[in-house]
C-alpha cells in the first residue's frame, strides 16, 4: 500500500512516522527542510503540549467530533514520549527539557531518516482521482498513491510555507471549507492615543462584545501597541473577533486596568495627594495621562476636588476602558487560522474525509485553539489518529 503525506509539519510528521512500519510512505514537503513552523513555536522554545487539553480550549464547527478526536490525546502523548521527547512543565505548559524547538526538529528528522522517504522542495499543485488512486501533481513530477493525507497547514505565517492552496484543492474535490481567517493575532483599533501607549505591558482582563452583546472574557498580560492591542489575552479572543469582523459585526473590548473597583479605592484613600500622585505607582505614567486626557480631569486636582461626574468618568475609564476593534494583523502575523475544512466532512475515528482514502489533519481543519500548546497538540493528535488507522 502506497501512502503519500503532504506536509512535513507537526501533523504530517507524526502521521508518517506512525504508519511507516506498515505502509510504504512518502512525505512531500514544499520547503527545503521540515518543521519550519515548529521552530518558531513558543518563541523558539516549542510549547508542544498542555495538561488541560479539552474541547473548551478550542473553536470549531463541531464540538462533538472534536471531543472524539481529543479522546486520543493520551495515546498521542505516549507516542511523542516514545520518540525521546522529555518535557519540562510550567503552569501546565509542556516544553522540551532543552527549552529549544530545535531539539524537537532534530528528533523528528532523525526518526524520519530511519523510517520514511522524505522529498523536499516539492510543491503540490493539484490532486486528481485516477483509477481508484490519487494522482498528486507537483512542480517536478506526478505521484500515484492508494491513500493520501493532507497536512499542508493553513494560511497563517506564510513565511513558513503555508499559502492556503490546500483549501482550493479540497474545495475543487467537493469538500466544504468554512471561511479561513487569521487567529492568535493582535487586534487593530483606530484611536489617536495608540502611539502614546505603545510598548506598555499590563496584567488585565478583556471583555469581548459583539454587536453590544457580551461574548467572552480573557485574562492575562495585555500588550498595548501603536496599532491596538496584543498579548495572550488578546490572542485568545482573536478567533471570535476575526469571524465577527468578517460578518461585518461591531466589535469592541472593555479593558479592566485595575484589579479593584477604582472608584471605591479612591474614595477610601485618605492621603492628601493629587490624583496624579495617588496613581503614580498604580499605572505606567503614559497610560495614566491617557486616562486623564480621556476623562478630561486635571492631574493636579485631588480626588475630593473632583465632582461626581468626573469621578465616575475616570473610574469607568480605568475599570471599563472601551476600545473599538476594526481589524486584525492579518495572516502574516497570525500563529494559526480559524476556519478550514469542516469537521462535518471528517470521520473523527480515522480522519478520513467523505472521499474514500483521502485524509485531512492538523491546521487545515476548522479547529483552532488558545495559546498554550493546544494547536500543536491538536496537530499531533490528528496525525497520530490517521497514522494509527492507516497502519
Tens-digit pLDDT string for the chain (391 aa): 899 999 999 999 999 999 998 999 999 999 999 999 999 998 899 999 999 999 999 999 999 999 999 999 999 999 999 999 999 999 999 999 999 999 999 999 999 999 999 999 999 999 999 889 999 999 999 999 999 999 999 999 998 988 999 999 999 999 999 999 999 999 999 999 999 999 999 999 999 999 999 999 999 999 999 999 999 999 999 999 999 999 999 999 999 999 999 999 999 998 999 999 999 999 999 999 999 999 999 999 999 999 999 999 999 999 999 999 999 999 999 999 999 999 999 999 999 999 999 999 999 999 999 999 999 999 999 999 999 999 7
Q: Is 313 exposed, middle or buried (0-12, 13-18, 19+ CB in 10 A)?
A: middle
Residues 177, 198 within the same domain:
no
- The pLDDT value recorded for residue 42 is 85
Give the cell for residue 287: 497610560
Number of domains, the chain: 2
Q: Which residue from 52, 47, 53 is spatially nearest to 70, judged by alpha carbons?
A: 53
Residues 351, 305 within the same domain:
no
Residues 170, 196 within the same domain:
no
* DSSP assignments along 90-133, one per residue: ETTEEEETTS-HHHHHHHHHHHHHHH-EEE-S--EEEEEEETTE
Residues 10, 159 within the same domain:
yes
Give the cell for residue 228: 491596538
Residues 31, 164 within the same domain:
yes
| Beta pairing class for 2-6 and 147-150 | parallel
- The pLDDT value recorded for residue 232 is 95
Q: Which residue from 153, 127, 149 is spatially nearest to 23, judged by alpha carbons?
A: 149
* DSSP assignments along 325-343, one per residue: E-EE--TTT-SEEEEEE-G
Residues 291, 342 within the same domain:
no
> 220, 233 in Cβ contact below 8 A?
yes
Distance CA 61, CA 162 (A): 22
- The pLDDT value recorded for residue 21 is 86
58-91 confidence digits (pLDDT tens) = 999 999 999 999 999 999 999 999 999 999 999 9
Distance CA 33, CA 318 (A): 49
> 170, 157 in Cβ contact below 8 A?
no
Which residue bears the cell 478526536?
A: 69
Which of 303, 328, 353 represents a domain boundary (last residue)?
A: 328
Which of 328, 355, 380 represents a domain boundary (last residue)?
A: 328
- The pLDDT value recorded for residue 14 is 98
Residues 319, 224 within the same domain:
yes
> 363, 161 in Cβ contact below 8 A?
no
Distance CA 70, CA 348 (A): 9
Residues 138, 10 within the same domain:
yes
What is the number of residues in the chain?
A: 391
* DSSP assignments along 240-276, one per residue: HHHHHHHTT--EEEEEE--SS-HHHHHHH-----BHH
- The pLDDT value recorded for residue 43 is 86
Residues 287, 355 within the same domain:
no
Classify 163 as helix, strand or coil.
coil
| Domain CATH code at residue 138 | 3.50.50.60
Which of 286, 311, 328 represents a domain boundary (last residue)?
A: 328
Which residue bears the cell 461574548?
A: 215
- The pLDDT value recorded for residue 161 is 86
Residues 14, 66 within the same domain:
yes
| Beta pairing class for 321-325 and 251-256 | antiparallel
Residues 258, 191 within the same domain:
yes
248 to each of 82, 216, 241, 326, how far by Cα in Å? 47, 19, 11, 10
For residue 376, the enclosing domain spans 2-182+337-390
Residues 83, 174 within the same domain:
yes
Amino acid at each position: 500500500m502506497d501512502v503519500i503525506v503532504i506536509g512535513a509539519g507537526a501533523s504530517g510528521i507524526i502521521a508518517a512516522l506512525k504508519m511507516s512500519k506498515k505502509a510504504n510512505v512518502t512525505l512531500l514537503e514544499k520547503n527545503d527542510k521540515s518543521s519550519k513552523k515548529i521552530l518558531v513555536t513558543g518563541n523558539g522554545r516549542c510549547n508542544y503540549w498542555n495538561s488541560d487539553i479539552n474541547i473548551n480550549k478550542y473553536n470549531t464547527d463541531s464540538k462533538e467530533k472534536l471531543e472524539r478526536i481529543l479522546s486520543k490525546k493520551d495515546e498521542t502523548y505516549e507516542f511523542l514520549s516514545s520518540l525521546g521527547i522529555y518535557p519540562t512543565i510550567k503552569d501546565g505548559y509542556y516544553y522540551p527539557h532543552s527549552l529549544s524547538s530545535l531539539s524537537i526538529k532534530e528528533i523528528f528528522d532523525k526518526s524520519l531518516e530511519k523510517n520514511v522517504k522524505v522529498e523536499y522542495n516539492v510543491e503540490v499543485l493539484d490532486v486528481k482521482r485516477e483509477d481508484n488512486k490519487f494522482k498528486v501533481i507537483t512542480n517536478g513530477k506526478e505521484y500515484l498513491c492508494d491513500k493520501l493525507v493532507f497536512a499542508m497547514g493553513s494560511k497563517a505565517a506564510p513565511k513558513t510555507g503555508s499559502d492556503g492552496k490546500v483549501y482550493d484543492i479540497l474545495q475543487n474535490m467537493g469538500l466544504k471549507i468554512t471561511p479561513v481567517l487569521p487567529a492568535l493575532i493582535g487586534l487593530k483599533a483606530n484611536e489617536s492615543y495608540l502611539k502614546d501607549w505603545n510598548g506598555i505591558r499590563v496584567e488585565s482582563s478583556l471583555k469581548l462584545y459583539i454587536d453590544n452583546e457580551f461574548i467572552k472574557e480573557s485574562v492575562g498580560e495585555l500588550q498595548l501597541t501603536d496599532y491596538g492591542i496584543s498579548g495572550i489575552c488578546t490572542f485568545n479572543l482573536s478567533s471570535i473577533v476575526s469571524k465577527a469582523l468578517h460578518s461585518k459585526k461591531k466589535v469592541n473590548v472593555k479593558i479592566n486596568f485595575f484589579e479593584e473597583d477604582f472608584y471605591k479605592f479612591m474614595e477610601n484613600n485618605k492621603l492628601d495627594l493629587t490624583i496624579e500622585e495617588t496613581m503614580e505607582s498604580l499605572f505606567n505614567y503614559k497610560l495614566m495621562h491617557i486616562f486623564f486626557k480621556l476623562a478630561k480631569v486635571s492631574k493636579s486636582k485631588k480626588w475630593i476636588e473632583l465632582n461626581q461626574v468626573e469621578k465616575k468618568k475616570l473610574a469607568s475609564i480605568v475599570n471599563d476602558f472601551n476600545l473599538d476593534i476594526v481589524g486584525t494583523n492579518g495572516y502574516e502575523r497570525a500563529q494559526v487560522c480559524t476556519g478550514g475544512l469542516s469537521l462535518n466532512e471528517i470521520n473523527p475515528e480515522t480522519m478520513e474525509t467523505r472521499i474514500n482514502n483521502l485524509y485531512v489533519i492538523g491546521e487545515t481543519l476548522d479547529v483552532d485553539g488558545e495559546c498554550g500548546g493546544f494547536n500543536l497538540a491538536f496537530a499531533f493528535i490528528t496525525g497520530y489518529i490517521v497514522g494509527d488507522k492507516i497502519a
